Structure 1
């Protein structure tokens, strides 16, 4: 990231005056040019005087009524940049504090301070805000804002890596603290791991408090982080580098990973001299570097060394210059091994206080702040949540048994108006639920987008008429008057664990799926198995008391896919699985939904613009066999049931802005993906779930994947579709046990290619002993056959320079 990019665009301070109410006291370095009363009320939430500390999050440049117009941003280039729709969003993190003071008229002083930034990970600024607001209480002057502004903008992010989309997905799906350790800490040397790092900054060389550049302040997080990466890619292209590796860890290793970097509970697969790893610090720190004890080298921790005579090289996991030479890069990796590579570690030097900062590296723009899906699922778990209001086909995909979180998800993707109410709750709690809902609907930012643009983490009565006009708004409030107003479709009360569907939802959002739809006739025989599938199913019977009761068929099925999914998620939460694991499950859920939507469009419209066309594997005489594509279903019955269950919410989703954004995203992904020409997720689903598969299809799948695995970007795309919660490389490992020798050899070649990259080695480490031994044995046998044949020389490449050995005790599973 360029050091010229400002991390902090504005610093704001608001005070509560007993006569005038909330007042915006300071705006630094210049006025924002927007409604000051609105900003002040966002920074001083209702009931702030009753809470010692509270936090809120707000957005700017989100809608016309909160778009900023700094008076000094007069340059035409800046204005054109500000008009760029994709780079407008600014995020504010606000701290409000109440201090008792007997000299004050109400016995307390309430002040708030906010940092406005282009980064969605606003939580990194919480520690410095705490210090700065304390400083402001003691010395309420603009100097405090200037010190905070300078300190945040002096934070060094110049060496923060810009991960690709698939690198981010890999990182967020694993809890290994050494994932991509060389990639994440490239060109950066750390001192004592227990000490925060702050590079000396030449403040005299920095410009003064120049006017906030409107173009700078409105550059999106993605644009800012990728700015440096673009320069690197351009430099690689000029140097003739056709591949997008930008660090030693991204490049193919000159030699294969060694025993210390590929072991599992003491059972190593690789053999050779580990002196290189000793010097890089891996042997001493590998155990501390990984959060998953099952994938960390305990062999290295005990200092075990292999003595396989077949290997004579002495290179470390990321390459080493020569025997007895300790490289600077090795020292960097060794120090970084003690840190979690999911974060970029830097520091903010505020008022002679060095504050460590951990910047998350795998954040997507739809993930703002600290919204937790674990918290959201716990708050609205079926066991404690009360559901009231009419059933609606857009929301209740399993009738009355639809889990509350699924009702919320359906409301999010179908553009319903949603309010999170937290009466007598902290505004921080309400804000976090709104931000978690945005992560829920978007698949944690990996799949869909457009939710943050209509989210108001904390909303007030001041501009209620304005934010209520935003289609499908997602708002957090603490005032119960919003419930009685009734201008919402779904109310989520986090204080009483209630979820209420508006009584007027059928008037505001009539079900548009008629009973004459072609899918009805095809799925009519599945009525007993499916739930709400048409407008007819949504009809309610009036009672004598004027209320309504459910039709018998709307009772739902307790074993529906959505119910089983939520039970699985809640079981993981009860077992203390991490937030990252929960997010990975919801990402998979949303991915599945959009692929089903693609199949639905094909059946209804004849084609789809959001997915691969549906096709099955074909093999005809005289023609080349063709791989299948599209959403995978175990059988036609499952396909028909899933389409019927999802039809109503798919139809509603197709009318939203979120759908249009996904259409554009899909077109871009298909054009720019490293792996081109075939539907990779479909092939992996076939390997995971197919009950039977012809030898020809199996061979073509493995051959196609192996032929499209030649660059680092292609490797990361493949691994991104093989997350640990779906058992990692297990689907590909099935090829090692196939009855056809050609398939087995292709599987070995594929694993050999993965072995050439450090990130591939980490995935290979997760294979179980049986799978790993099968790979070692077959790879060694293949190399031996090549030697015996003596018909061609062994290529001098990474995966041939030192093959896995099946002769060491540890590789046979005897170590440990």
Structure 2
């Protein structure tokens, strides 16, 4: 009988879809085991449950591992090198994040007196640090039982970690929870999934009980005999009490994390999965450490006497942090060198740099694909095939070859060096002249500028120095990681708001939006509406925007913008621009303010649209404060639009929490106006 090609094709597609679904449900894809052999060097001894297709043993056994009892490294699998056009191909296997632990045990009975082994977990999860505890236990277990069964036990235990009750938050919900002062935000989402799981578990137990053999006494009890009413009442009371205990404990949980556990060799390991991870955040790194390490010296070292327009935006006074930021935005090759440092420490600097260049991990995309948290000379050819790589090394030989990198960040000294071999872009002289003219024109008076304290000319009191001062002041005041990353996110968003404006003025078109609507009520960008300030910003960022255009992050930004236009719930207006105008603009007239509130009232209707609006109003930056000003406006129409908008916000679960956390006077004004307009 002839086969049916249509049916066969459908079956193949179903099998492929089922396989992809199973892969998405797995917590861990591979377990790797590497050893150091005195004759063969680093060898990849085991790959479980199947080969990865690559030999990364040289990354699992970093330089100097024998000199330490243990060390951590991070690297990535399935990174996509750009094609001849500089574009990263779409599709293919997903990017895998690898957490590796290497341990050295000294033994006088073996050659060289030490046994070096490394074990790694490969996962799609970006929060790879949750696997540290189980990896330590598994590697210790492998030293005692060096068989593939030890890897299988680790693989099975990690994949049995239950994440079924972890809500899948949207990007807007993640942003709300990330910057929320209320740690119980989206509590109802967690409770609903937990209730469904208990219900399914109860049904399964009932099914097993009904299918099990019953004696006559149990059967009689089941139909109501032998005091069944008392037993049923006791069971209900017990269930109610258990429910109250669970509800009480749930209210005390920090919903920024999902609490679960991994059971490995009868040991229960508590796990806290972060719920607010941005797409370009990998592992548990410290952006504060990166900023403090390279903020000690004002002037970076340049291997060339010529100012590079993409990097040195303030000439010789460019702050090292800004120099690093400019390198990441313009896709330059960046190396972090930590001679004698643990590989894990160097890797953390690279992961922090990815977050820095991507805007706290949430604005630009694609930096993780060109990140090599730890690498060495063995991987040099692969490294050089990635334009704009971000790599961490411990071998000082890299410093002696400036042709391999564009920017070298020395972790030991805190110095940043621009490669003398870095070629200037086409038209560099004109760009440099334009940069100098823009610096001369940017004479914005900024308070507490380090330039004025150090006696530098006023032209260095610019947006960059203000940004660095804000970061350093926040670190001195012991702000947390999330707050520091939020400041970086705002800086990169401001930069990205200027890109389409500059592109439109230069070429007459842009794929990042419609800048012709900047001055209109629809709004496009979060750039201030004041034309003079905007022109100053464009002049100041001009050279960096030139370097950013054409990078992989630029192409990804276009794809993300087009996707947002088709998937966002609020369309036709730019919420971020309107919120920015209400928060910062001082030159809006009554008609403009009324038009903004009216458009918000018209466009924000559904629950999803309210959630999208709240994502532009993080609680850590004032929450509903910009909208609440409408309660006190002299215009009755603005007060009406504000009240109606707050009523819609109050009907949203997260919005109700927002309103409860607002200023008491705002709550009173909302209550009074709602009553007045309802009469």
User: Same fold by TM-score, threshold 0.5 exceeded?
Assistant: yes
Structure 1, 762-771 or 479-488: larger mean CA deviation: 762-771
> CA distance change for structure 1 residues 698 and 13 in 2, over 3 Å: closer, same or farther?
same
The whole-number CA distance in structure 1 between the counterparts of 2:35 and 2:533 is: 59
Cα deviation per residue 1:36-71 (whole Å; 9 max; x = unaligned)? 3xx111001000111111111111111469xxxxxx
2:630 aligned to 710, 735, 746, which one? 735
Partner of 1:567: 469
Q: Are positions 1:492 and 2:405 aligned together?
A: no
Q: Are positions 1:91 and 2:97 aligned together?
A: yes
The whole-number CA distance in structure 1 between the counterparts of 2:81 and 2:672 is: 65
> CA distance change for structure 1 residues 615 and 434 in 2, over 3 Å: closer, same or farther?
same
Secondary structure at the residue paired with 2:369? Answer: helix
Partner of 1:154: 160
Question: Root-mean-square deviation (CA), in Å?
Answer: 3.0
Q: Is the contact made by 1:431 and 1:476 (CA closer than 8 Å) also made in structure 2?
A: yes
Secondary structure at the residue paired with 2:121? Answer: strand
The whole-number CA distance in structure 1 between the counterparts of 2:606 and 2:476 is: 40
The whole-number CA distance in structure 1 between the counterparts of 2:439 and 2:425 is: 26
The whole-number CA distance in structure 1 between the counterparts of 2:117 and 2:128 is: 20
Q: Are positions 1:405 and 2:425 aligned together?
A: no
Q: Is the contact made by 2:439 and 2:459 (CA closer than 8 Å) also made in structure 1?
A: no
Q: Are positions 1:369 and 2:283 aligned together?
A: yes
Cα shift at 1:424: 0.6
1:514 aligned to 430, 437, 440, which one? 430
Q: Are positions 1:706 and 2:607 aligned together?
A: no
1:350 aligned to 264, 277, 280, which one? 264
Partner of 1:780: 675
Q: Is the contact made by 1:57 and 1:91 (CA closer than 8 Å) also made in structure 2?
A: yes
Cα shift at 1:189: 5.6
> CA distance change for structure 1 residues 761 and 452 in 2, over 3 Å: closer, same or farther?
same
1:672 aligned to 562, 567, 589, which one? 567
Q: Is the contact made by 1:438 and 1:455 (CA closer than 8 Å) also made in structure 2?
A: yes
Cα shift at 1:31: 2.1
Cα shift at 1:495: 1.3
Partner of 2:130: 124
Cα shift at 1:146: 0.8
Aligned positions, number: 603
Secondary structure at the residue paired with 2:73? Answer: strand
Partner of 1:226: none
Partner of 1:311: none
Partner of 1:15: 35
Q: Are positions 1:483 and 2:399 aligned together?
A: yes
The whole-number CA distance in structure 2 between the counterparts of 1:530 and 1:524 is: 11
Q: Are positions 1:55 and 2:72 aligned together?
A: yes
Partner of 1:140: 146
> CA distance change for structure 1 residues 384 and 14 in 2, over 3 Å: closer, same or farther?
farther
Cα shift at 1:446: 1.7
The whole-number CA distance in structure 2 between the counterparts of 1:400 and 1:610 is: 32
Cα shift at 1:556: 7.6
Q: Is the contact made by 1:612 and 1:679 (CA closer than 8 Å) also made in structure 2?
A: no
Partner of 2:655: 760
Q: TM-score, normalised by structure 2?
A: 0.83
Cα deviation per residue 1:505-532 (whole Å; 9 max; x = unaligned)? 2x26455573699x89xx968724269x
Partner of 1:502: 419
Cα deviation per residue 1:384-442 (whole Å; 9 max; x = unaligned)? 77544343110122222222121111101111011000001010111111111111111
* Long gaps (5+) in structure 2: 1-19, 83-88, 206-238, 445-455
The whole-number CA distance in structure 2 between the counterparts of 1:331 and 1:745 is: 43
Cα shift at 1:348: 0.7
Partner of 1:726: 621
Cα shift at 1:735: 0.3
Q: Are positions 1:341 and 2:255 aligned together?
A: yes
Ranked by relative contact order (alpha carbons within 8 Å, sequence separation 6 or more), the top structure is: 1
The whole-number CA distance in structure 1 between the counterparts of 2:443 and 2:544 is: 14
Pairing 1:604-615 to 2, within 5 Å after superposition = 604-615=506-517
Cα shift at 1:560: 1.0
Q: Is the contact made by 1:190 and 1:335 (CA closer than 8 Å) also made in structure 2?
A: no
> CA distance change for structure 1 residues 524 and 394 in 2, over 3 Å: closer, same or farther?
closer
The whole-number CA distance in structure 1 between the counterparts of 2:519 and 2:396 is: 57
Q: Is the contact made by 1:10 and 1:149 (CA closer than 8 Å) also made in structure 2?
A: yes
Cα shift at 1:87: 4.5
2:440 aligned to 527, 538, 543, which one? 527
* Long gaps (5+) in structure 1: 66-82, 192-197, 203-324, 532-553, 619-625, 786-816
Cα shift at 1:118: 1.4
The whole-number CA distance in structure 2 between the counterparts of 1:469 and 1:769 is: 58
The whole-number CA distance in structure 2 between the counterparts of 1:443 and 1:187 is: 32
Pairing 1:239-638 to 2, within 5 Å after superposition = 333-383=247-297, 386-390=300-304, 391-486=307-402, 487-505=404-422, 507=423, 509-510=425-426, 512=428, 514=430, 527-529=440-442, 557-615=459-517, 626-633=521-528, 635-638=530-533
The whole-number CA distance in structure 2 between the counterparts of 1:741 and 1:103 is: 88
Partner of 1:282: none
Secondary structure at the residue paired with 2:193? Answer: coil
Q: Name the structure with the higher helix share.
A: 2
Structure 1, 760-769 or 483-492: larger mean CA deviation: 760-769
Q: Is the contact made by 1:675 and 1:714 (CA closer than 8 Å) also made in structure 2?
A: yes
> CA distance change for structure 1 residues 642 and 382 in 2, over 3 Å: closer, same or farther?
farther
Cα deviation per residue 1:300-330 (whole Å; 9 max; x = unaligned)? xxxxxxxxxxxxxxxxxxxxxxxxx969987
Q: TM-score, normalised by structure 1?
A: 0.70
> CA distance change for structure 1 residues 718 and 103 in 2, over 3 Å: closer, same or farther?
same
Cα deviation per residue 1:161-207 (whole Å; 9 max; x = unaligned)? 1111111111122253212222244321699xxxxxx99x99xxxxx
